[in-house]
């Protein structure tokens, strides 16, 4: 009996000590976040969408518009894509939309079904003049650069609003069929969210330092510092968790809706970071592309965040793809202007 009491006493003391340590870590985290607030001065514009602020970054003045869409859980999409879009912004208008809970965007309690996510993206673009009155200019349809999970949104967008999208560049995008076999570990995701909220991630800076945006991209030291700040502040936010919970249902909706043959350039990784072996990851894309007549697959020998490792090759291949598939012949343009109500085969 005495032994049991002693054991219980030790357990209680350890629990109290743990709570005190966690409270101290959390307080330190809040203090550090307040100090770092000055670093989080928006790089782009903040626009209100459904009651929360969304961040939209615009760079370049080209005739064609490219919209970058980040993968699930990317803490700072604007910085994550910089190595690639900085190469494209001389000839194209570059836009990066940061979803609710990502980067400079505020969190939102809205349901994260594919319709809501897409509507928020399109509303944000409308607010900055990319989509006039909810639709893209006929002469300036959008090219989507979609990484990982956002490929679902890109496919859904191109099918629901074909008048807005002229092509997709898949940056190791996860197509709907992949989610049938993909394992979503919500326990790990929730633990990551707890660690971020409490400030425990500050004790593991090597995780952030090993991220591809920092160790492989072209960010400056100042930008790396800002990225690290977002890692401490925007790892597995509420919207990110909500997206992960519903992603399989979203994939099923996209699979049903996916009927349009939109020109698509697939950049495919070696599978590292996807949860699949290289052969299986590649097979998914090979099978999917069979139904896309205007498509091309480019195999890359790097891990999942391909745009941080192979940004130069992606830039060259993408420009070649645009010239091959997305530049309409002048004669066709003339016919379209003369007969605006006629539906052409290429559409």
The model's pLDDT over 97-154, given as tens digits with 9 standing for 90+, comes to 999 999 999 999 989 999 999 999 999 999 999 987 655 555 568 999 999 999 999 9
CB 208 within 8 A of CB 224: no
pLDDT surpasses 90 at 256: yes
For residue 144, give the 3-state DSSP assignment: strand
Centre a 10 Å sphere on the Cβ of residue 290 and count the other Cβ atoms it contains: 8
The predicted pLDDT at position 239 comes to 94
Provide φ and ψ at 192, rounded to 5°: -65, -40
Residue (of 242, 219, 243, 247) closest to 231 by Cα position: 219
Q: Which two tokens stand for residue 122?
A: 């399109």
Strands 93-98 and 165-171: unpaired
The residues pairing with 168 across neighbouring beta strands, listed in sequence order, are 144, 264
Q: Which two tokens stand for residue 77?
A: 């999409």
CB 101 within 8 A of CB 52: no
Residue 28 pLDDT class (50, 70, 90 cuts): confident
* Phi-psi label, residue 321: left if phi above 0, alpha if psi -120 to 50, beta otherwise: alpha
Average pLDDT of the chain to the nearest whole number:
87
> Which pTM was predicted?
0.86
Residue 346 pLDDT class (50, 70, 90 cuts): very low
Q: What is the pLDDT of residues 149-194, one digit of tens each?
A: 999 999 999 999 999 999 999 999 999 999 998 888 888 888 887 8
pLDDT surpasses 70 at 333: no
pLDDT surpasses 60 at 337: no
**Torsion, CA 109, CA 106, CA 45, CA 156, rounded to 10:** -40
pLDDT surpasses 90 at 20: no
CA 47 centroid distance within chain: 18
Provide φ and ψ at 248, rounded to 5°: -65, -35
Strands 264-268 and 165-171: parallel
pLDDT surpasses 80 at 345: no
CB 69 within 8 A of CB 152: no
Give the distance between the most distant pair of CA atoms in the chain: 95
pLDDT surpasses 60 at 305: yes
Measure the CA–CA gap between 326 and 154, rounded to whole angstroms.
17
């Amino acid at each position: 009996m005495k032994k049991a009491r002693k054991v219980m006493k030790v357990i209680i003391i350890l629990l109290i000590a743990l709570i005190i340590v966690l409270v101290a870590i959390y307080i330190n985290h809040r203090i550090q976040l307040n100090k770092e607030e000055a670093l989080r001065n928006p790089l782009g514009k903040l626009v209100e969408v459904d009651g929360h602020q969304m961040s939209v970054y615009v760079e370049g003045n080209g005739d064609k518009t490219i919209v970058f869409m980040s993968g699930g859980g990317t803490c700072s999409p604007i910085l994550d894509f910089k190595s690639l879009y900085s190469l494209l912004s001389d000839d194209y208008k570059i836009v990066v939309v940061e979803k609710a809970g990502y980067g400079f965007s505020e969190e939102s309690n809205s349901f994260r079904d594919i319709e809501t996510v897409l509507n928020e993206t399109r509303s944000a673009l409308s607010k900055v003049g990319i989509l006039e009155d909810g639709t893209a200019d006929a002469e300036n349809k959008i090219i989507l650069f979609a990484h990982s999970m956002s490929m679902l949104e890109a496919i859904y967008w191109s099918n629901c609003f074909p008048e807005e999208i002229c092509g997709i560049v898949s940056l190791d995008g996860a197509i709907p069929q992949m989610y049938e076999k993909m394992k979503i570990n919500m326990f790990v995701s929730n633990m990551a969210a707890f660690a971020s909220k409490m400030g425990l991630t500050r004790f593991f800076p090597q995780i952030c330092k090993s991220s591809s945006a920092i160790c492989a991209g072209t960010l400056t030291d100042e930008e790396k510092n800002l990225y690290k700040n977002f890692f401490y502040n925007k790892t597995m936010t509420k919207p990110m968790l909500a997206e992960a919970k519903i992603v399989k249902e979203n994939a099923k909706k996209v699979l049903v809706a996916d009927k349009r043959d939109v020109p698509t350039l697939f950049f495919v990784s070696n599978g590292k970071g996807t949860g699949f072996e290289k052969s299986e990851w590649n097979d998914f894309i090979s099978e999917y592309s069979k139904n896309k007549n205007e498509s091309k697959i480019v195999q890359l020998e790097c891990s999942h965040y391909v745009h941080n490792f192979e940004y130069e090759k992606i830039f060259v291949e993408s420009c070649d793809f645009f010239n091959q598939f997305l530049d309409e012949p002048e004669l066709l343009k003339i016919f379209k202007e003369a007969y605006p109500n006629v539906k052409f085969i290429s559409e």
